[in-house]
Amino acid sequence: MELGFHLPIFDIDGGTAAIAGELARVGAAAEASGATWLSFMDHYFQIEPTGLPAEANMLEGYTTLGFLAAHTSRIELGLLVTGVTYRHPGLLAKIVTTLDVLSGGRAALGVGAAWFEREHHGLGVPYPPIAERFERLEEALRICRQMWDPANNGPFDGKHYQLAETLCSPQPINQPKVLIGGGGERKTLRLVAQYGDACNLFASSPADVAHKLDVLRRHCDDVGRDYNQLRITLLANNPRPSPDTRDDFVRAMADYAALGAHTVIVTPTTGSPAAWIDGMAPAVPQLAELG
């Protein structure tokens, strides 16, 4: 099992002027630890599950990843996850392509149906009903696939999006892996089976995850997809681990590794995330021993 880091908080010790330097140290610490994944949220406002108010610091996700691309050399970079409503899919594919090219082929596309209504209304971004958001998500996945096909620069004519040309030049160095966030059994996991390279589930309990993976297997069977091609990632926040509980965390991950989970992602929530990552680094070889 591999370890990834996900940073949801930008209230950094030292204030706003200290954010850039701390994020550069985060990149160095994450790579030095041997972790394989580094991500941020994709939100306009801070979200309540972090325990902070909407007014707390929040950076634009892809600009932040571009900064980290220049301060790292090996780790995979992505957002966990982009809301499909935030950017037109053609532009999204172009943004992720740019990140991939400038990072030397290390970009991932994390994407989901979006959920935070307040930030949409706050910045004047349309927030359609959930059924439409899922329709848009499926079209966005198809558009990105077409944008990353150098043999197909033709049009895309969908219900919600119409593109006269899906020209994307340069093409990515490595076609970005598509990680679809969420565990909805009827829609989200079907999209993972049909379009995704990876899913991201909450590590709520081994029994819950085992059930979600059984549902995902059935969706794969329905669409003729090899389940074993998919990468299973988990977000560990129940309880959220810390350097002080690192050994307990590794022991708890053994059951998830036995289910076939490939990567567990943890979230520093302090004002000094680079030091927090240093404290979690010994978990990397311990998790690797789980298989």
DSSP output for 243-286:
GGGHHHHHHHHHHHHHTT--EEEE---SS-HHHHHHHHTTHHHH
- Is pLDDT at 235 greater than 90 in this prediction? yes
> Can you tell me the distance from the alpha carbon of 222 to that of 171, in angstroms, rounded to the nearest whole number?
31
- pLDDT of 225 reads 96
Query: What DSSP character marks residue 107?
Result: B
Confidence label for 243 from pLDDT (cuts 50, 70 and 90): very high
Q: pLDDT of 160-186, one tens digit each? A: 999 999 999 999 999 999 999 999 999
- For range 176-197, the mean pLDDT: 96
Q: pLDDT of 263-277, one tens digit each? A: 999 999 899 999 999
Confidence label for 223 from pLDDT (cuts 50, 70 and 90): very high
Count of positions (residues) in the chain: 291
- pLDDT of 111 reads 98
- Read out DSSP for 92-104? HHHHHHHHHHHTT
- pLDDT of 238 reads 82
165-189 exposure pattern, b = at least 16 Cβ within 10 A, e = fewer: ebebeeebeebbebbbbbbbeebbb
- pLDDT of 114 reads 96
Q: Domain residue spans in the chain?
A: 2-289
Confidence label for 291 from pLDDT (cuts 50, 70 and 90): confident
Whether this prediction's pTM lies above 0.85 is answered by yes
> Can you tell me the distance from the alpha carbon of 231 to that of 192, in angstroms, rounded to the nearest whole number?
10
Q: pLDDT of 41-89, one tens digit each? A: 999 999 999 999 999 999 999 999 999 999 999 999 999 999 999 999 9
- For range 139-146, the mean pLDDT: 98
- Is pLDDT at 237 greater than 90 in this prediction? no
- pLDDT of 201 reads 97
Domain 2-289 CATH superfamily:
Luciferase-like domain (3.20.20.30)
- For range 36-40, the mean pLDDT: 98
Percent of the chain having pLDDT more than 70?
A: 100
- Tell me what the pLDDT averaged over the chain comes to: 97
- pLDDT of 195 reads 98
- The 10 Å Cβ neighbour count of residue 216 is 24
- Is pLDDT at 142 greater than 90 in this prediction? yes
